[in-house]
Structure 1
Amino acid sequence: MNLKQIVSDGFSMKDIERRYSSFAFISLKTALYSYFSTYESSTLFIHRILNGNSSYVGKDTDRQYSTDYIEKYAETIIHFQHFIELVCKEILREENELLVLNIDKQHELFYKLLNKEEVTSSELEGIRTTEFNSTFDRLLGLIKAGKLDSKYNFFTSKKNKEALTQLNQLRNRIWHRGTFVLRYEALDIFIGQYILPIIKEIISLPEYIDTKSRWIYPPLELGIDPISELINESSTNSYNAGKFAFIKELGRASYNNPLIHNWNIFNKDIIKNAVNTAQAELNYQSQGTTIYYCPVCGVQSLTSYEDSDGEQEADGSYSSYWTFSWYVKCHCCSFKISRELKNPKEYGYALPDYWYSYNH
């Protein structure tokens, strides 16, 4: 095949039986996973934020941001914006395809669409759609004019309009210049307080209720919903970076949960391997000293790791010596947090105290 044949060898999602007609919910899943992963990607500098030292900004502090965090930030912004843009266009397409197309010179196609004649996906191939700003302005205008269902009215609130405008600008700063990155706390507040409430409104629309299986994470053993928890936490008066980090890690690990609902024949082997790995860690030079049930997957494979330290005298002896837990990791779903976070009970969750210490 030549190059043109190679890049033409595909299919339109509209031509197959799917509950969504675009990549919208693929982008939503990617955005959520990327955002949830920003705690995991921030281990080199997260202690400054959690200890209240984030006011020190500048080149020296910003150099601590890892490449992984920058990648996760970019994926978060780009895919949330992409999801919103595709949803807005799908809403307009339900009224008429013309509302999202630039086809000034495609006269026959324009006529067909104007008269709602059948149009094949091949006829729409290569036709450019409107930019986000034009799409969003048109959507808002039609909502205000009463031409679209009132269930979309949440788009028109001042807070949501400003949030989506800023989201698009952040996306453009990545897409066109590729130099600007929101710092950790700002990203948390922006996503939790402004973007996730819009996402929740969209996924609650009747036409999208059945799409959950395409993007949502498996249920958590802890019984909470990370999106709702982050929205609730954002509604409080003060931003708690530690609690945000804990919730995000729950969400990230839930996407990695390998246990398949109602597939016990496969789950048994997965659980057995995870439990055996946790036990091996427990037995290996006392590195893992306690095994908990994981709050994400529910498997007893969340292993605690210890370290020791002390005050050493000039002669090399220790006047005091203590051991402490510093890290827990699940060998099934990959949930992992370090002692930089508080014990979950301090965040309001009925879970064991993972962080402890004792003197020798």
Structure 2
Amino acid sequence: MQVSEQAATRPTDAGVTTGSLARKLGVSPTTLRSWDRRYGIGPALRTDGRHRRWTADDVAMLQEMCRFTAAGLPPAEAARAAKERARGRGRSPALALVRPPAEPRAAKSPPATVHPAEAPTSRSGTGLPLGDVRQECRGLARAAVRLDAAAVQSLLTAVVETHGLATAWAEVMAPTLRAVGRKWESSGDRYVEVEHLLSWHISATLRHVYVRSVRKPRTGGPPVLLACLPDEPHTLPLEALGAVLTERGVPALMLGGAVLAEALAAAVRRVGPSAVVLWAQSRTTANLPLARHVAGTRWGVRGARTRSLVLLGGPGWDGDSGPGLPRPLRLDDALRMLGAPEH
């Protein structure tokens, strides 16, 4: 009786195949064979003396190997650490590896001023079209592809603590998200689960920074109002802007995705924001007449009514928007226009 391919790759007492394990971990079968050959981190079982069968303990060890390499360890060191943990002698999980030792903070933290041209670059090795990127992008992409939520969150937390949120968003989070989105579009929804996982954890990280920062005592003043246009669900760039603004002492009021025109106008009149940032991810959601209406909305007491500065954010805005509607191209552009300089 012929055994089906599904049955051959199903976990059993005899272990799983190399191909099945590679798909689970988000690496290639060649990579697993190379790790076995070079670092001795191979399967406990081999059928017919040739075919690899990976047991549950083997799988756990390989998952540790992937976490360590995603954290930036060279493969040889990662293999050694994974084998030590498998033997019960490991002293720290991947989270400890991605977080640098605590050091006294200087007046100006060098990591916060790292520029893309100065950052280490690397290819992803995940099948995602990352190009030349920071080392952290490669690790984050690998963890996301294998749906390793713990490693994704550990890496995001570490990069924010090391480089600051603005740099973490511009040089790690956003490039990895774009790569996953391009892969999703070109592979027929094969990576939709990767995009969802990564987006959820990035959003959680951004909101954590916001909540931590908003609790700090600060002077009063009108907030910056952040809103997606009607029918626009993509909020992550605005979440990043809101978190960085709040971190830098500028109050931000986030209305979220797909804000109705009437609700947006009502919020402007009620709050009297210093500025309004309107996000449109695509041309189909951009609404220039609505943006102009918001820019023309006056608020305040009679005799001293004023208007808010309106910024158009996102790639959806096309062509000349006219005077009085600036369009920041990057996060640092928006921060500068909103008066939130780096501390």
TM-score, length of structure 1 as denominator length: 0.29
TM-score by length of 2: 0.30
